[in-house]
Chains A and B, each alone.
Chain A
Amino acid sequence: MATTSNSPWRGWRDIIFIAGAFFFVAVFVVFVLLLIIADAFYIDKNAVLTVLNSNFIRHALWMSIWTSFATTFIALLFAVPIGYSLSRYRFPGRILVDTVVDLPIVFPPLVAGLTLLVFFAQTSLGRWIQDDLGLEFVFQRKGIILCQFLVSASFAIRSAKTAFDDVDRRFENVALTLGCTRWASFRRVSLPLALNGIIAGCILTWARAFGLFGPLLIFVGSFRGRTEVLSTTIFLEQSVGNIEVALAVAMLMILVAVIALTTIHLVGGKTQVHPSGW
């Protein structure tokens, strides 16, 4: 049972209450772990060796990692200013902008892929970007990041907005009277105070980008050694009957996700208070 050193006295009613809450924690965690264990027992040694020795799968792993982190970084660049603007300023059409920001969250994933494909292949603006500007996305690696960004950036923006909403505006105002410009007050006060929420948004964004499958298959395809990522590898392997290899790749994805999420939690969860020194 979770306790702290200065916990108040607990009667049996409190213990039943806490036990009830932890019952649900236990059910959920055990269920997820059982699924992973079941997958692990299904995999044989040959499948693992296939995954470890395949150049294509190593390439897909690398593609999954770097595109998802690149997407998260780009999403962060957009999320902070958009989240701050939506939180702090009232402007005409704000509700419309707010709705559009959330729209990709409720897009069915396949629709996102189709929409991108239609835009770049069927509209003159899309063709101009691809043909005249030379920024080719369709069936290209850049398309992976664009696709992941479209589907997952909303999580970062929404989290950033909520995080800035939670920062009392008086802190910024006081900073302005203490010699700060508007930018300095944002950088030294609002941003650090909103950091935990922004990091939470980045975790969601990264997780969504890392596991994305449907839109990628439509927009960039799954060309081995080029636009293949781990999620499409799983699809390709199971579609040709290599269920063990598909599950071994899935276990690899889970391992990467556990390492990445634990690292982000450890780094992002550090206390922001500077108890001494400058």
Chain B
Amino acid sequence: MIRVEQLSFSVGDFRLRNFSLEVARGRYFVMLGPPGSGKTLFLECLCGLRRAWAGRIFIDGRDVTTLEPRARGIGYVPQDYALFPHLSVKRNIGFALRSGRHSSEDISAKVATIAEMLGISHLLRRNVTGLSGGEKQRTALARALVMEPKVLLLDEPVCALDEETRQSVCALLHRVQRDLELTVIHVSHNLEEAFSVADSAAILNQGVLQQVGALDDLLRKPDNEFVAHFMRCENIFSSAAGLKLAGSHRGKIKMMIRPEDVVVLRAGEHDSKNENEFGVRLVRWRDYGGYVKVELSGRLNLVAHLTHAAFARLKAESGSELIAVLPPENIHAFGV
């Protein structure tokens, strides 16, 4: 288990403030945030490359706050992998073992085992500079895993890969984490990546942790407007929008509804009046392959994601008059 208590540190003008977090043993945790939010700094602080000026870090109950990186039992895969260009794939993977008291035969055996697990046995004699992105990623992962760490930190591990390789590497990461029962912290700015691997996640912005929880909670129950925006919700309204909610809320609030939860009907298609129903005009639409993104204007400006079948049923073009329904149970309110 990883426990971070009130961690604070600064680099230049950037500060990570009162950062507290707990990741249970054997969980795959994804730290999301826009570029420059402090994700990499947080990882570097966890693995000891940066010294915090306040707070404590515990790994499996052991206080590692002041320990050197090599004494923390953490495997680290940095962004762009940082494979040693003067060493072959085999020597890169065996690098950590050569720091300890391992015989050559022992090192060779361990390297062969990990290489086979990650499907890179055929690359062992190669120079790292000639590897593809996916091969580099697997080599960097093997280099970190060969020490048999309890915790694995991954800094944007698939951001430089093409879509197909990204999916296969994400599947590999997930499998490795399950097989080795690792606790993984994976930082990324990519939502699809998080959904493909994460058990739970957090969102970081400007050095401040915005929300921690299950991905579905981040998606449907954001704590604030930043989280809602980051989770790609464009339908955010003030309380003055006059929408009815399923529950009662006190104080100043904002409301959001996910684009896929907005119901769009043809005018005159239905007979009973729904709550939160109003007329809208179709401004524009665009086919994104898996869904159709529809922009609507009216009493509220809305974005809806419709299936192809639902959009086809509307028989709508730009300028068509439609009905939008925002079911109260799908509207989430958060404090301002």
Q: Which of B16-54 contact A (CB under 8 A)?
A: 44, 47-49
Q: Which of B186-222 contact A (CB under 8 A)?
A: none
Instruction: For the complex, give the distance between the alpha carbons of A68 and B69 in Å.
Output: 42
Question: Chain B at the A interface: mostly helix, strand, loop or mixed?
Answer: mixed
Partner of B98, one of A171, A177, A278: A278
Contact A170 B96 (CB under 8 A): no
Contact A276 B88 (CB under 8 A): yes
> Which of B73-81, B177-185, B301-309, B322-330 lines the interface with chain A?
B73-81
Contact B78 A170 (CB under 8 A): yes
Instruction: For the complex, give the distance between the alpha carbons of A177 and B99 in Å.
Output: 11
Taking A184-B99, A274-B91 as contacts, is the C-beta distance between A178 and B70 under 8 angstroms?
Answer: yes
Is B104's beta carbon under 8 Å from chain A? yes
Is A35's beta carbon under 8 Å from chain B? no
When C-beta atoms are compared, the residue in chain A nearest to B71 turns out to be A179
Contact B107 A278 (CB under 8 A): yes
Is A168's beta carbon under 8 Å from chain B? yes
Partner of A177, one of B74, B94, B125: B74
Q: Which of A167-207 contact B (CB under 8 A)?
A: 168, 170-171, 173-181, 184, 188-189, 192-193
Contact B98 A168 (CB under 8 A): no
Is A33's beta carbon under 8 Å from chain B? no
Contact B78 A272 (CB under 8 A): no
Contacting residues, chain A, for B85 (C-beta < 8 A): 193, 273
Q: Can you pick out 15 interface pairs between chain A and chain B where the beta carbons lie within 8 Å of each other?
A: A174-B84, A176-B68, A176-B69, A177-B69, A178-B143, A179-B147, A193-B85, A272-B86, A273-B86, A273-B127, A274-B91, A276-B124, A278-B91, A278-B94, A278-B104
Contacting residues, chain A, for B88 (C-beta < 8 A): 273-276
The interface bits of chain B over 135-171 (1 if a CB of A lies within 8 angstroms of the residue's CB, else 0) are 0000000011001000000000000000000000000
Of listed B85, B100, B125, residue having the most chain A CB within 10 A: B85
Is B82's beta carbon under 8 Å from chain A? yes
Contacting residues, chain B, for A272 (C-beta < 8 A): 86
When C-beta atoms are compared, the residue in chain B nearest to A182 turns out to be B68
Contacting residues, chain B, for A176 (C-beta < 8 A): 48-49, 68-70
Is B90's beta carbon under 8 Å from chain A? yes
Contact B99 A174 (CB under 8 A): no
Contact A173 B49 (CB under 8 A): yes
Contact B147 A178 (CB under 8 A): yes
Partner of A170, one of B68, B74, B82, B104: B82
A185 smallest CB distance to B (angstroms): 9
B67 smallest CB distance to A (angstroms): 12
Contact B127 A276 (CB under 8 A): no
**Ranked 4 nearest A-B pairs via Cβ:** A179-B99, A178-B96, A177-B76, A176-B69
B20 smallest CB distance to A (angstroms): 23
Number of interface residues of B (CB under 8 A): 37
Taking A170-B78, A278-B98, A278-B104 as contacts, is the C-beta distance between A181 and B70 under 8 angstroms?
Answer: yes
A238 smallest CB distance to B (angstroms): 48
Contacting residues, chain B, for A273 (C-beta < 8 A): 85-88, 127
Contact A171 B70 (CB under 8 A): no
A158 smallest CB distance to B (angstroms): 22
Instruction: For the complex, give the distance between the alpha carbons of A179 and B74 in Å.
Output: 10
Is B95's beta carbon under 8 Å from chain A? yes
Instruction: For the complex, give the distance between the alpha carbons of A170 and B43 in Å.
Output: 13
Instruction: For the complex, give the distance between the alpha carbons of A188 and B70 in Å.
Output: 15
Contact A177 B49 (CB under 8 A): yes
Contacting residues, chain A, for B84 (C-beta < 8 A): 171, 174-175, 189, 193
B13 smallest CB distance to A (angstroms): 17
Contacting residues, chain A, for B75 (C-beta < 8 A): 177
Partner of B70, one of A180, A192, A275, A278: A180
Contact A274 B47 (CB under 8 A): no
B198 smallest CB distance to A (angstroms): 23
Partner of B100, one of A170, A174, A175, A179: A179
Contacting residues, chain A, for B90 (C-beta < 8 A): 276
Contact B47 A177 (CB under 8 A): yes
When C-beta atoms are compared, the residue in chain A nearest to B140 turns out to be A174
When C-beta atoms are compared, the residue in chain B nearest to A181 turns out to be B70
Instruction: For the complex, give the distance between the alpha carbons of A171 and B49 in Å.
Output: 12
B35 smallest CB distance to A (angstroms): 17
Of listed A168, A184, A272, A276, residue having the most chain B CB within 10 A: A276
Instruction: For the complex, give the distance between the alpha carbons of A174 and B82 in Å.
Output: 7
The interface bits of chain B over 85-116 (1 if a CB of A lies within 8 angstroms of the residue's CB, else 0) are 11110110011101110001001100000000
B316 smallest CB distance to A (angstroms): 52
Partner of B99, one of A168, A180, A276, A278: A180
A2 smallest CB distance to B (angstroms): 22
B151 smallest CB distance to A (angstroms): 11
Contacting residues, chain A, for B68 (C-beta < 8 A): 176, 181
Instruction: For the complex, give the distance between the alpha carbons of A276 and B126 in Å.
Output: 8
Contacting residues, chain A, for B144 (C-beta < 8 A): 177-178
Instruction: For the complex, give the distance between the alpha carbons of A184 and B49 in Å.
Output: 16
